[in-house]
Copies of this chain bind each other. A is one copy, B any other.
């Protein structure tokens, strides 16, 4: 039985299972096909994306929804009763006015969209929630992913709460604390002797061979990826239903950047925000910066690299959406830049000390790139700017362990306190 028909052949999908989604369309050749666990175009092997026929929707309808991503359910490939199925209820995270960081960087109006306060502390809870809904509607019996970090946490947690069998594949050399972050949620953490590429390849093979397995970032990827749109919806709503002038987004596969851009375009088309240009900027770590390199060199293609950076959650050497990122950034007048691991570490501390937000290395990369873009004149500091923080620093504590610490060690007396000159 082939991968793409394994699940739907034995099961009827209920009406409205995917909300207002109408089908899957190839991003390369435009060929369409029915909704299902398909991720590759039958015609040209290009990536598939969800198509919709959106209803009329008002700001008030959205505002009356819950304080999580389901307030936007009409714009996602999920059923109208999605709130009734046990899920992590992610999203509607803080959009923080960042005047202190803005002052440091010389940016007049700056905001941080802080996704570190999601249920498992990264934006992955958003995409996994959409993948879980698809898995449920498709009748999948196993919920799975290959991952080294944030995705593993999100899948293991969401699967536990949903009560679906969940299997998470990790490289066997992953550090113990990172294994614990996922193993606490699932008894099915499987260590694979190999690197992430080996684990990923094995996942693809299992998805092709086994009936009923939904790998969130493989065979239900088109549904999964749509979850990132909610970052864009929330930013617009939290700004008072308007778009920022500029946005800086980290680039791993590149999916998040393309989906936030897509979200802004959808809101314009639906009349929920006023049409205006938004410059989209991408951030990479120098040790894994294939899209940044292509942007700098003016290439249309992205040349794969072998990652070597502390920003592990961005370390995708051959990003699936790299060329789409290049298109969007060039179209909108943005840019892509990269920063060194040391700049990543500096930016983590800078964000924490100015705004009280402890980000992981991916967020350090994004804030570091924001700083560089101002310094190089590629980003206009007079325009309103949003920077996305995708995950929590507690997950990559080692990155700053040598950077911060106690200022002084004193005896437990008032005299010692005075002598230390802290007052």
Contact = CB atoms under 8 A, between A and B. Distances in A.
Interface in A338-382: 348-349, 352-358
A216 to B, nearest CB: 14
Q: Please state the number of chain copies in the assembly.
A: 2
B177 A397 contact: yes
A386 B161 CA distance: 17
A352 to B, nearest CB: 4
B355 A192 contact: no
A187 interface: yes
A180 B99 CA distance: 24
B190 A410 contact: yes
Chain A contact surface mostly: mixed
Interface of A: 67-68, 86, 88-89, 92, 94, 96-97, 99-100, 114, 117-121, 142, 156-161, 163, 167, 170, 172, 176-177, 179-181, 183-194, 198-199, 201-202, 205-206, 209-210, 348-349, 352-358, 392-395, 397, 400-401, 403-414, 417, 420, 422-423
Nearest to A161: B356
A413 B204 CA distance: 11
Contact of A406 (B189, B353, B393, B401): B189
Given A180-B400, A405-B183, A356 B410 contact: no
A347 to B, nearest CB: 12
A394 B121 contact: yes
Given A210-B423, A408-B191, A410-B190, A185 B356 contact: yes
28 contacts: A67-B92, A68-B94, A86-B99, A86-B100, A94-B119, A96-B161, A100-B160, A100-B161, A117-B119, A176-B401, A176-B405, A177-B397, A179-B406, A180-B401, A180-B404, A184-B404, A185-B353, A185-B358, A187-B353, A188-B422, A189-B405, A190-B407, A193-B409, A193-B412, A194-B412, A199-B412, A210-B423, A394-B394
A199 B353 CA distance: 24
What are the 3 A-B residue pairs with the smallest beta carbon separation, nearest first?
Answer: A157-B356, A161-B356, A194-B412
Contacts of A186: 353
Contacts of A114: 119
A184 B393 contact: yes
Contact of A206 (B96, B194, B356, B414): B414
B119 A356 contact: yes
Contacts of A353: 160, 184-187
A181 to B, nearest CB: 7
B86 A191 contact: no
